[in-house]
Copies of this chain bind each other. A is one copy, B any other.
Amino acid sequence: MSDETLGDSVTTKVEPLQVSLSPQERFSEYLQSRGLRQTNQRKFLIDQVFSQHDHFDAEELIERLPRRGEQNYVSTATVYRTLRECVDAGLLNCFQLDGRTVYDHDYGYPQHDHLYCTRCRKLLEFQSDELIAIRDSVAALHGFRVESHRMIIQGICRECSRSRRKKRKQDLV
């Protein structure tokens, strides 16, 4: 499993899964299966979205794309439309955080949840089988058929705790 474990079901690292198709290929299949088209905009966006494993929102994505007039420019509307298609295709997951919609790689990564640092706004991932077990117990108790879940732990990350401590020391000197 991973380097640090607690009991045997909580891991600190969320590692990529082995998948037979790349996100690009998988998206192609999705498009084909629905009679949708393979456009340059869609291809370019998928490449961008999967070029790094990270969380992002529409604004952040748009920011790192070419501007209007530049090569490979994609309009805002198309970005939003494509993001939604990615979610439908199972490539991305999305959830609301602080009022914005955050997208998260779904395809190629195991189900996981998040730690959210309210100071630096970083999202960390974690994975816990126990959490899933509890989820299922709770659902069973309510006769609830689970489709998915989302857990976000808010707080202060290690780095932010450290820098806060440092600052305080300096203040005292």
Contacts and interface: CB of A to CB of B under 8 A. Distances in A.
B151 A155 contact: no
Number of copies: 2
Interface residues of A, number: 42
A156 B145 contact: yes
A154 B158 contact: no
Contacts of A137: 6-7, 10
A53 interface: no
Contact of A154 (B126, B147, B153, B155): B147
Interface string A55-98: 00000000000000000000000000000000000000000110
Contacts of A149: 151-154
